[in-house]
Amino acid sequence: MSYLVICQKSDCSSKAIANSVEANPSVIRNLMSDLKNANLIISHQGIAQPKLNKIPSEISIFDIYQAINTNHHLLHIDHKTNPKCIVGKNIQSSLKEIYKDIEKSAEDKMKQISLQDIVDDILLRNNNSKNISI
């Protein structure tokens, strides 16, 4: 989404975005579909100029995170442990609440960070480096 803000006057095709992050264009198309379904972007088939549906300061990283159609667990509990071992038998229960608290903290932090914050940081880093063209 930061690409859509920073490079809005450039090629915003899935191929161009994929080239920027070294991903497959089909992965970008799937992500863009998720973002469109979440009403975060507006796009039209056959036109490679997707646009944000809100200003960047009104879109949180949490909004983007929630929009992406994926498993939203930051931490994973291994359920294949030895039930005959004191650790293996109890580790899932012990970690479940701890992981839940960590995920809640991370989500709360994501709600405080806007897409504009990310865009500003990218531009600042670019200005402080070799000034790679956009």
* Euclidean distance between CA atoms 107 and 67, whole angstroms: 13
Report domain extents, the chain.
1-56
Average pLDDT of the segment spanning 96-113? 95
Average pLDDT of the segment spanning 34-60? 92
3-state class of 127 per DSSP? helix
Which of 66, 65, 62, 93 has its CA nearest to residue 77?
Answer: 93
3-state class of 123 per DSSP? helix
Tell me the pLDDT tens digit for each residue of 72-85: 778 888 889 999 99
Arithmetic mean of pLDDT over the chain: 91
Architecture of 1-56 per CATH?
Answer: Orthogonal Bundle (1.10)
pLDDT tops 90 at residue 99? yes
pLDDT tops 90 at residue 25? yes
Confidence of residue 134 (pLDDT cuts 50, 70, 90): low
Residue 69 tokens read as 């159609």
> What stretches of the chain adopt beta strand conformation (E)?
41-44, 47-52
Confidence of residue 45 (pLDDT cuts 50, 70, 90): confident
